[in-house]
Amino acid sequence: MRRLIPAGAAIVYGVAAFPAALADQLAGGVDVALLVVPFCAVFALAFLPWGRLADRIGAVPVLVASTAGLGLAGVLLAVAADPLAIGAARGLQGALAAGFPPAAQALLTRSSTAGAGRAVGGMMIGVGCGTLAAPLLALVLGGTAALWVLGVAAPVALAAAIAVLARGTGTARRGPRPARLDPTAGLLAGWAVSALVLSAYWTLLTRVDDLLGHQGAGLSSGAARALTLLAGAAGLALVTFAARATDRRGPRVPMVTVLVAGGGALVVAALSPVGVAVAGLLLLLTLYWSYLPVVSVQVARSAPADLRATAIAGLYSAMWLGAAAGGVAGALLPGWRSVLLLGGIAWLGAAIIAARHFESEPAAMMAAPA
Q: Residue 208: count other Cβ atoms within 10 Å of its Cβ.
A: 22
Sequence-distant (6+) residues with CB within 8 A of 137 are: 14, 18, 146, 150
| pLDDT tier, 161 (very low <50, low <70, confident <90, very high otherwise) | very high
CA proximity to 293, closest of 245, 257, 341: 245
pLDDT-derived band at 329, boundaries 50, 70, 90: confident
Q: In whole angstroms, give the CA distance from residue 63 to residue 225.
A: 33
Higher per-residue pLDDT: 262 or 214: 262
pLDDT reported for residue 178:
52
Average pLDDT for residues 14-28, to the nearest whole number?
A: 86
Q: Could you read off the pLDDT of 182-230 as tens digits, one per residue?
A: 889 999 999 999 999 999 998 888 788 788 887 788 888 778 878 888 8
How confident is the model over 231-257, as a mean pLDDT? 90
| pLDDT tens-digit readout, 67-80 | 999 999 999 999 99
Say if residues 106 and 133 touch (Cβ distance below 8 Å): no
pLDDT higher than 90, residue 341 = yes
Query: What is the C-alpha separation between 3 and 143, in angstroms, rounded?
Result: 30
pLDDT at res. 335: 84
Does residue 239 register a pLDDT over 80? yes
pLDDT for the residue 41: 84
Q: How sure is the predictor about 168, in pLDDT bands with cuts at 50, 70 and 90?
A: low
Predicted model pTM: 0.85
| Confidence grade of residue 363 (pLDDT, cut at 50, 70, 90) | low
Structure confidence at residue 366 (pLDDT):
41
The percentage of the chain sitting over the pLDDT mark of 90, rounded to a whole number, equals 51
The SS3 of residue 236 is helix
* Structural domains in the chain, sorted by start: 2-166 (1.20.1250.20), 185-367 (1.20.1250.20)
**Average pLDDT for 5-14:** 94
- Return the biggest CA–CA distance within the chain: 67
